[in-house]
Each structure stands twice: as structure tokens, then as C-alpha cells.
Structure 1
């Protein structure tokens, strides 16, 4: 079974809500509850990803491709810990131990994800199989490919938002 690309799911969900006469206020995506059905990916309605307008193909040499740049935009743990606690409840995880989750940027800062957006942060469970570490490896390889000019920023962002588990292979990088 093939996956529907995440941006399309989000657009379709918005269209369905509009057709039903409902509106969604920015920042309230988590209010209705989030599904664990998509794991190891986040729920595409709750966490569709969010792109930093300051990071573009034209600015990568002064942003993501500069060593240490992500540290200048990374939100403080006081912000992400409070959000993680809230989102663990919204995702309905039975395990509420904060240390069992990483408050993960779905579109990583290394690829121009918005640092503080609730649409880009979610409580990614730590799996015994190393899944969260595997995502970090994918993110780093994609950043290197973007900075080397092997892949465009937009293609890397789209690949990670569609399905980070297949992002490298979909771009011919695995």
C-alpha cells in the first residue's frame, strides 16, 4: 500500500473541514487529539511540518550549511519540555514518562524546519530499535546532500515530510 504524501493529506484534511463548514485556527491542530496510527511518523494532521521562510535554496550558505547555525535557532528545553508534556497527552500515549520521548522537529532545523512551531514539533517515542537515532542519521545525510548541491533543499524537505523512512531512497541517496 502506498502512502499519500503528507502535504496532500494536510490539504485534503483542510478541504474536508471546510466542506463540513468547520474552520481550524492556527495553533489548534493538537486540540482535537492526535493519532498514533502513523508511527514512526507523526500524525499528518497534528504535525504536518512547518518550513522556516528564512531558509531557502538561496540562503543555505548563510543558514543550514553553516556549522553551528541550528544552535542559534534551537528553542530552549523549557519550551520543548512543556510542549512535549502537552503533546504526549494529545497523542494519547499510555507511557507518559517524558524521558521516553524526544520532542522532535519533524522537518529538522538542519533542513529549514520552524524551530518553535507546534506543527513541526511532536513527541517522537524512543524505540528499542533505534528509530529516533535512525531519523537523525537521515536528517544529517540529507543536510550534507543539500549543502553539497546533490539535492535541492525543497526536494529534501518534501522527501522528509512525505516519509522520512524512505527519504534517502526516494532521492537516490541510499
Structure 2
């Protein structure tokens, strides 16, 4: 009985594989072209494979991203004195972010106030007071519209956003991405910006390490 069931299962799998097997004309893709699922018989199957591939490549893919984005009253804010024209002498100058970052004595009361309002009773160590638009990308150091509590644990956490901030800082200072483009990408949805810019190739290329001076 078990042997018959196993045989039947193998037969079914073989039939499915044959059904979705691309025909010869589907396999003939010219060099330099990207193969697409243009044939109706294989469209659903290819979509499923494509979705799985995206999920495997994308560490921040979530069903509901609203739970990992800042609240609506944190739209982000920039320092108007920092522009594309002066990035070489401001944000791209070594040590700029460290010198512009407010002292702990200034930010600690802000974090405490936000913790009491949003996460009463929870550990301070589980959250980072984050600049939505990083100081290293021209974020306003003490504008409350740019400050929010970001979890240090779980998926799409503070460490992931720090990685994105560092990669974007490098890309902006190498003039590969305009400053305003980087700011808007993080302001709009930092997880989408992560998917776009914090690729494994970019992280490896820039030798990202979570050093304190690169946190925001």
C-alpha cells in the first residue's frame, strides 16, 4: 500500500513538472535578453518562482511594513544649511556626523519622554532614538519631526537602518546618488530604500561595520 502511494505521488510530481516544462521556443532566449514569463501556460508558475526568489533575496520583506515604519508624526526633517553643493565640506567631511550629533544629556530626556508615551514599562535598551533622515545625510539633529524610537530587535531593526544609512552616505559622497534622492528614499519608506540600496554587493563593497560613528 505504501509503495503504491509513493508511486502515485512520484507520478503526480512528474506530470506537474512536464506540464510546466518550457517548450523549446521558450528556452531559446537570445544572449543579452532577460527571460520573461510571457507564455500563458507558465505565467502563474513563473510568478510563484519569482516571488519566492524575491523573498529569499530580500531580508526585509514583510507582509505589513507599517509596523516597522516611524509614526505619522515623524515625517523626517532636514538641516536646510546642507545642500548638494556643500556636501564635501559638511556631511562628507570625516567626523561630521559625530560632531553634529546632540549630546546624550540632550537626547536622553527626549528618549525617556517617547518611551513613557509609546512603550511604557519596556526596556530602554530595546529601542534606539533614531533620526529618520540620518544626520550623515543632512537630517536635522534636534527636530522632533526627525526623531523616533526604532526597535533594536526583530526584523528590519535599527542595525539594518544603520547599514542603509552608511551605504547611502557612501553613495552620496561618491556622487553616485543625489543627496535629495537619498533623503526622500528614507523619508518615504526606509525598508524599500534598504531593498534598493543596501544590497549585499554594496554592503560588501563599502565594508560596512556597525561602528558608533556611523550609527546615524
TM over 0.5: yes
Q: Corresponding residue for 1:81?
A: 108
| Moved segments of 4+, more than 4 Å | none
- 1:128 deviates by 3.7
Ranges in structure 2 where 5+ consecutive residues have no aligned partner:
1-64, 200-216
Give the direction of change, closer, same or farther, for the CA distance of 1:156–1:130 in structure 2 (3 Å limit). Answer: closer
Structure with bigger gyration radius? 2
Secondary structure, counterpart of 1:119 in structure 2:
helix
Structure richer in helix, relative to its length: 2
Q: Which residue of 1 aligns with 2:182?
A: 156
Instruction: Give 2:202's aligned residue.
Output: none
Contact 2:156 2:191 in 1 (8 A): no
| 1:121-146 deviation line (CA, Å, top 9, x unaligned) | 11112114471101000000001110
Listed as ranges, the gaps of 5+ residues in structure 1 are 1-36
Q: Does 1:61 align with 2:88?
A: yes
**2:149 maps to which residue?**
123
What TM-score do the two structures reach when normalised by structure 1?
0.71
**TM-score of the two chains, using structure 2 as the length reference:** 0.58
Structure 2 counterparts to residues 19-34 of structure 1, below 5 A: none
Give the Cα–Cα distance (whole angstroms) in 2 for the partners of residues 88 and 173 of structure 1.
Answer: 29
Task: Name the residue aligned to 1:105.
Answer: 131
The answer on whether the counterparts of 1:106 and 1:122 sit within 8 Å (CA) in structure 2 is yes
Q: Is the 8 A contact 2:150 2:157 kept in 1?
A: no
Question: Which residue is 1:23 aligned to?
Answer: none
Aligned partner of 2:69 in structure 1 is: 41
> How many residues are treated as equivalent by the alignment?
135
Query: Higher RCO, 1 or 2 (CA under 8 Å, sep at least 6)?
Result: 1
- Contact 1:106 1:113 (C-alpha < 8 Å) held by counterparts: yes
